[in-house]
Amino acid sequence: MPSISTMILTALTMTGEKSVEVSSLTTGEQNYHLSRLNSMMDSWSNERMMIFQLSQTSFALTASQGSYTIGAGGDFNMTRPTKIVDPCFIRDADGSDSVLRIIDAQAYGRIVDKDADGTYPVYLFYDFGYSATSTATVRFWPEPASGLSTFINTLQPLQSFSTVSVTLSLPPGYQDAIETNYAVRSALGLIPVSPELMVIARQAKAAIKGLNAPAPVLRLDMAVAGGGRSSILTGP
């Protein structure tokens, strides 16, 4: 895979800002374009279909503790997720799993006794709050008993780049999408962007989104299903 400096030069060549003979960037250009490129990747991390992988991670839960920080150095020590998504579940000491239902802030706010103790948490609420240490908060209800672990599926931010010498580490298709879309971004306010480049940039990004789009799963409203737990995947 190419280095970030090579990709930046390729992008600038597409707009005519650099010629193919130029093989390096000045220090000022490196700093400027690295910042702009990381800004684009950060923005893409908020687009669900630009994320190519669900990451499943497990953590031990503490008895009667319903709230955990999540992020680098947090109770759940990992990269702060962009989002926590289904399926998440609780596993007990015997290896049996029970499903966790992800709820939003409104649903969590309606819970009257948020400190209620229970055996298995039923609900998970991901509070997106952003602390000074770049952590968010995961809340479980009711609070867990001892001997339980949680397994959560998360959408993780896309790769960011510390220097222009870093090598790209993303699946096929991302190099073209990054180069062409960054070419468009780098030209804004400086030089006109050709219609052809705009089309290629959109198509490269659309190809990734088409591949990453999650497969739909049929669900029945509880009223239609008669309150049962039947599933087209697992049966009654």
DSSP 58-116: EEEPPTT--EEEEETTSSEESPPPSEEEEEEEEE-TTS-EEEEEEE-HHHHHT-S-TT-
Confidence of residue 225 (pLDDT cuts 50, 70, 90): low
Name the one residue in this structure whose structure tokens are 């999540």.
70
Confidence of residue 161 (pLDDT cuts 50, 70, 90): very high
Residue 63 burial (10 A CB sphere; 0-12, 13-18, 19+): exposed
pLDDT at 118: 84
Q: Is the pLDDT of residue 232 over 50?
A: no
Q: Cβ neighbours of residue 161 under 8 Å, at least 6 residues apart?
A: 4, 34, 37, 38, 41
| pLDDT (average), residues 57-72 | 96
Please report, rounded to a whole number, the percentage of residues in the chain having pLDDT higher than 90. 79
Q: Is the pLDDT of residue 146 over 90?
A: yes
Cα–Cα dist 148/121, whole Å? 9
pLDDT at 128: 87
pLDDT digits (tens, 9 = 90+) for 36-52: 999 999 999 999 999 99
Query: Of 138, 146, 153, which is closest to residue 61 (Cα–Cα)?
Result: 146
pLDDT at 191: 87
pLDDT at 211: 93
pLDDT at 236: 47
Alpha helical stretches, state H, 138-216: 174-187, 195-212
Sequence ranges of the domains in the chain: 4-49+159-212, 54-155
Under a CB-based contact definition with an 8 Å cutoff, are residues 148 and 140 in contact? no
Q: What is the bridge-based pairing of β-strands 54-60 and 76-77?
A: unpaired
Mean pLDDT of the residues in the chain: 90
Q: Is the pLDDT of residue 223 over 70?
A: no
Q: Which residues pair with 58 in a beta bridge?
A: 151
